[in-house]
């Protein structure tokens, strides 16, 4: 039933046909005159948030709920005559899609600067995928969605990419010396980067469910230098390699016809005993080392811990609490988040002017980090400049 009819009560529900909508508002064209007794039907993968008189008043979990407003059928229309038959008691319902949104892509639009201990200042491109999930729908709507009728993954993906790339650059600068050691650290990088991004995502009521790094690539000229280095590392014994090449060259020359070929073949015959004797001595030494290494116990590789699914714990005292709790029964911490302090992350009560924990103004916004060398603005809290790679003071 429509949300602006005069007589009948509304039945409000929503189905996501695209699979990409994070938030959907009903009525879709703005606010409505949702009446007292209207029925709200919320699915298991959804949460419903009632906005009444311009403010978020309640969040509803799965099930059927009766909405309470001051709009009465027929009577409200009569009383709203001074306002052109439009009731000033406006109400709307936002549906939050609580499922996991997988396979969102992140990557560097422009290469980020990285100071390599062996290769110097280079620029890197990185790409990967990540999954997100709404965990605090009211906070998400108040901080990112605003009054938009719907909000999709396409509209938030670009902003989340910037956050991931900024924290990725910080992590590389603090924990990696050279990209030559990068190949064996992809799993550790992914897990550590996910932990670092947790605070950035929860500030908007989101959970970074999983993050993967698929590639980190330097410029072509740096790749060529790395290939040359790997080719040199593949040659275990340069002396043996040179001798083998010399022997192959002499063999080919000896096969050629004429006195020159015969002379080279004779010279090769005189050189071969000494070369074989030296090779056998080195081979015996190497075999002994290998056998000794095989008899010694080998240490197992440490398993990479996969973060378990988030439990319903109080974020303040970390004790288990009921799913539908509005406040923690043990410490009183507010669970229904309307806003958060940007300084300490404390949940703020509705209409709060200052944070009850650190005293900072509730409307304070984090300032961007400006590089003193190149003047580039970076994400708040960034440690390294994305433009020149310098450490931010």
C-beta neighbour count of 322 within 10 angstroms: 10
> What's the token pair of residue 250?
């002499």
Instruction: Domain 100-234+381-393: state its class.
Output: alpha beta
- Whether pTM > 0.85 for this model: the answer is no
State the span(s) of the chain assigned CATH 3.30.479.30: 100-234+381-393
pLDDT score recorded for residue 90: 93
Q: Indicate the pLDDT class of residue 84, thresholds 50, 70 and 90.
A: confident
H runs (alpha helix) in the chain: 75-79, 137-140, 153-175, 186-202, 220-234, 238-255, 259-295
pLDDT more than 90, % of the chain: 25
C-beta neighbour count of 83 within 10 angstroms: 9
Mean pLDDT lowest among 46-60, 142-156, 167-181, 274-288: 274-288
- 347: CB partners within 8 A, 6+ apart: 315, 333, 334, 335, 337, 338, 339, 340
Report the range out of 154-163, 175-184, 235-244 with the highest average pLDDT.
Answer: 154-163
pLDDT digits 0-9 by tens, 262-288: 555 555 555 555 555 555 555 555 555
pLDDT score recorded for residue 234: 66
In angstroms, the CA 114 to CA 205 distance is 31
Q: Are 330 and 321 in contact (CB under 8 A)?
A: yes
Mean pLDDT lowest among 45-59, 140-154, 179-193, 194-208: 179-193
pLDDT digits 0-9 by tens, 128-137: 999 999 999 9
Residue 291, pLDDT > 60, answer no
pLDDT more than 70, % of the chain: 71
Residue 365, pLDDT > 60, answer yes
Mean pLDDT lowest among 49-58, 101-110, 197-206, 357-366: 357-366
Q: What is the mean pLDDT of the chain?
A: 78
pLDDT score recorded for residue 310: 47
Over residues 11-38, the mean pLDDT reads 92
In angstroms, the CA 339 to CA 56 distance is 11
pLDDT score recorded for residue 308: 41
């Amino acid at each position: 039933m429509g949300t602006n009819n005069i007589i009948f009560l509304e039945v409000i529900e929503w189905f996501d046909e695209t699979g990409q909508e994070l938030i959907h508002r009903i009525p879709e064209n703005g606010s409505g005159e949702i009446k007292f007794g209207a029925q709200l039907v919320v699915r298991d993968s959804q949460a419903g948030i009632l906005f009444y008189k311009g403010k978020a008043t309640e969040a509803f979990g799965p099930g059927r709920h009766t909405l309470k407003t001051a709009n009465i059928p027929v009577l409200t229309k009569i009383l709203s005559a001074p306002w052109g038959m439009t009731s000033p008691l406006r109400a709307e319902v936002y549906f939050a899609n609580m499922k996991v949104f997988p396979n969102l892509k992140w990557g560097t639009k422009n290469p980020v600067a990285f100071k390599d201990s062996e290769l110097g200042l280079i620029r890197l491109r990185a790409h990967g995928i990540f999954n997100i999930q709404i965990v605090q729908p009211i906070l998400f709507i108040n901080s990112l969605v605003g009054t938009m009728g719907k909000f999709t993954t396409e509209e938030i993906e670009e902003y989340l990419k910037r956050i991931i790339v900024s924290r990725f650059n910080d992590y590389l600068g603090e924990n990696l010396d050279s990209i030559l050691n990068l190949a064996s650290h992809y799993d550790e990088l992914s897990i550590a980067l996910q932990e670092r991004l947790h605070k950035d995502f929860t500030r908007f009521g989101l959970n970074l469910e999983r993050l993967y790094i698929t590639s980190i690539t330097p410029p072509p000229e740096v790749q060529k230098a790395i290939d040359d280095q790997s080719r040199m590392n593949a040659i275990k014994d340069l002396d043996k390699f040179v001798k083998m090449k010399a022997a192959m060259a002499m063999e080919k020359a000896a096969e050629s016809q004429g006195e020159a070929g015969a002379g080279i073949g004779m010279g090769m015959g005189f050189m071969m005993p000494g070369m074989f004797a030296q090779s056998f001595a080195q081979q015996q030494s190497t075999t002994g080392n290998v056998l000794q290494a095989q008899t010694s116990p080998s240490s197992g590789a440490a398993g990479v811990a996969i973060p378990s699914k988030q439990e319903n714990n109080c974020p303040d005292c970390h004790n288990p609490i009921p799913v539908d709790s509005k406040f923690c029964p043990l410490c009183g911490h507010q669970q229904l988040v309307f806003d958060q302090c940007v300084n300490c992350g404390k949940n703020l009560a509705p209409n709060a002017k200052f944070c009850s924990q650190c005293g900072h103004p509730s409307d304070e916004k984090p300032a961007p980090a400006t590089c003193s060398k190149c003047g580039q603005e970076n994400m708040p809290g960034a440690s390294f400049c994305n433009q020149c790679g310098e450490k931010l003071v």
